Amino acid sequence: MAASRLRVVGSLGTAQTLAWASTYYLPAMLARPMAAELGVSEPTVFAAFSAALVVSAIVGPHSGRRIDHWGGRPVLMVTSLLFAVGLALLALADGPVGLFAAWLVLGVAMGGGLYEAAFASLVRLYGHDARSAITGITLIAGFASTVGWPLTAALEHTFGWRGACWAWAGLHLLVGLPLNAWLPKAAALAVSTQAPAAANGEAPPMRTAALLAWVFAVTWFISTAMAAHLPRLLDAAGATPAAVILISALVGPAQVAGRLLEFGFLRRLHPLQSARAAALMHPLGAALLAVIGAPAAMVFALLHGAGNGVLTIAKGTLPLALFGPLGYGQRQGLLVLPARLAQALAPWLFGLLLADFGTGVLWLSTGLGLSALAALLFIHVPARTTQPFMEDPP
């Protein structure tokens, strides 16, 4: 990677770490003190967060279209301001109305400031050569929970939950905004990079888009459900409290390991092939956990984490490989819209099923994971990418 590209990946990856840590991973640490002070239940706090995810799904295609037209820098700079405003409103909330209003603003920011927007920004800059850059920012932002959870907990312990929100708002203004402003201005896409199917004269059918949307919705449902309920699931499988903590902590490093594998060996393959391998990992691990129980818990965590790490990258690289860079941002927003809705539904629905069926709920996630694999198998690899799929320009 050239020095200028490393700078872009480093700055955008750091800004993404900040964006994820201060939104997606915030309720896990602050829901309880928020609920206690605002006079609402913890589920109400998570309901406000789910509402933000729904808003982000609606906003996503519009933000993507703006990135297609203007490049990522102006859009991401605006979202840095919106993140700061939303977190400030959260710090000022004095009841459920203020709580929901703040999260709705944060939902707008999330729709234009998380991975999909970052991927679209990189595609707008590098076209077909964006795969390694996409992998790079997910490697950095993969530590968002590792950084965000302890930092939020420390801020809450020292300054209270309102002080934590103010601190995150300040970081968006002092760190996130300058980093996003540092992105280069996007130039017009070259005509030669605008039609991925020009080499074989065949455009990907709409069925491909529908299959991808299903894959993204299923895999985001599973990953969000696991993020919300993994400790309870491992406890239901018979793991000891100490083992639950240790095994849950393995998911993050496994995700990073999967992304390193994608950055190294797997980038020689078409993204569709690496996504197929990754889609098998959760069903395999979940089936082992359902049948064997606690002795398979560590294997399950490692397989789930590694597969999820690769699939996160695939959400950015598959649309690029199959449809090309022209209109990538808007298309990406439309493709992940069902996934955002599934993500909003996952903690509530999976929690209900876990309470009723225990580890039997793993057969649901296994079946959903296998359906994603089947959808990927029905997608045709374009003939133009039968050579090793290496992006880095000479």
Q: What is the pLDDT of residue 204?
A: 58
pLDDT tens-place string over residues 377-394 = 999 876 554 333 333 333
Residues 148 and 233 in one domain: no
**CATH number of the domain to which 123 belongs:** 1.20.1250.20
Q: Between the CA of residue 247 and those of 64, 221, 354, what are the distances in Å?
A: 37, 21, 19
Tokens (6 digits) for 244: 């639950």
Residues 144, 24: contact at Cβ < 8 Å? yes
Clarify whether residues 123 and 270 are in a common domain. no
Question: What's the rounded Cα separation, in Å, for the pair 103 and 172?
Answer: 16
In a domain, 392, yes or no: no
Residues 26-72 pLDDT 10s:
887 888 899 999 999 888 888 898 899 899 989 988 888 889 888 88
Residue 394 domain-assigned (yes or no):
no
The CA-atom distances, in angstroms, between 92 and each of 46, 102, 163, 181, 384 are 18, 9, 10, 27, 54
Measured distance CA(294)–CA(244) in Å, rounded:
10
Report yes or no on 111 lying in a domain: yes
- Please tell me the pTM assigned to this model: 0.79
Encode pLDDT of 271-326 as tens digits: 898 999 999 999 999 999 999 999 999 999 999 999 998 998 888 888 888 888 88
Domain end position, chosen among 155, 188, 221: 188
Would residue 232 count as lying in a domain? yes
Contacts of 71 (CB under 8 A, 6+ apart): 121, 124, 125, 183, 185, 186
Token pair of 345, please?
């539904």
**Contact present, 252 and 146 (Cβ < 8 Å):** yes
Boundary (domain end) residue, out of 159, 188, 217:
188
SS3 at position 390: coil
Q: DSSP string of 38-82?
A: HT--HHHHHHHHHHHHHHHHHHHHHHHHHHHHH-HHHHHHHHHHH
The pair of structure tokens assigned to 97 is: 């109305």
**Band (168; pLDDT cuts 50, 70, 90):** very high
Is residue 268's pLDDT more than 90? no
Residue 393 within any structural domain of the chain? no
Looking at the predicted structure, is the pLDDT value of residue 350 above 50? yes
- pLDDT for 163: 96
What pLDDT sits at residue 382? 62
**pLDDT for residue 184 is more than 80:** yes
One domain for residues 19 and 140: yes
Q: Do residue 133 and residue 200 come from a single domain?
A: no
Q: What's the pLDDT band for 1 if we cut at 50, 70, 90?
A: low
Which pLDDT belongs to residue 260? 85
Q: How far apart are CA 263 and CA 275, in angstroms?
A: 13
Residues 39 and 108 in one domain: yes
Closest CA to 366 of 282, 292, 303: 282
DSSP 247-285: HHTTHHHHHHHHHHHHHTTGGGS-HHHHHHHHHHHHHHH
Distance of alpha carbon 11 from alpha carbon 143, whole angstroms: 14
Q: Establish if 73 belongs to a structural domain.
A: yes
Distance CA 227, CA 248 (A): 9
For residue 203, how many other CB atoms are within 10 A of its CB? 14
Shared domain check, 153 and 235: no
The answer to whether residue 280 is domain-embedded is: yes
Which residues, 6+ apart, have CB-to-CB distance to 364 below 8 Å? Answer: 353
String of DSSP letters for 194-205: S-TTTTTT-PPP
Q: Which domain holds residue 280?
A: 194-385
Residues 175 and 293 in one domain: no
Characterize 42-62 residue by residue with b for buried, 16 or more Cβ atoms within 10 angstroms of its Cβ, and e for exposed: eebbbbbbbbbbbbbbebbbe
Domain identity same for 273 and 256: yes
Task: Specify the number of domains making up the chain.
Answer: 2
Residue 368 CA, chain-centre distance (Å), reads: 18
At residue 324's C-alpha, the angle toward residues 320 and 328, to 5°, is: 70
Rounded to whole angstroms, the Cα distance separating 387 from 241 reads: 48
Identify the domain boundary among 160, 188, 216.
188
113 and 169 assigned to the same domain: yes
- Residue 101 is assigned to a structural domain of this protein: yes
Q: How far apart are CA 153 and CA 143, in angstroms?
A: 16
Q: Are residues 111 and 204 in the same domain?
A: no
Q: Is the dihedral of CA 251, 57, 66, 199 positive or negative?
A: positive
Interatomic CA distance for residues 229 and 222, integer angstroms:
10
Please check whether residues 155 and 218 belong to one and the same domain: no
Q: Are 340 and 60 in contact (CB under 8 A)?
A: yes
Q: List the one residue out of 360, 367, 207 whose CA is nearest residue 283.
A: 367
Please tell me the distance from the alpha carbon of residue 169 to that of residue 167, in angstroms, as a whole number.
5
- Check residue 380 and give its pLDDT: 80
Residue 235 pLDDT > 70: yes
Both 178 and 258 in one domain: the answer is: no
Q: How far is CA 366 from CA 272, 286, 300, 358, in A?
A: 20, 6, 12, 14
pLDDT above 70 for 192? no
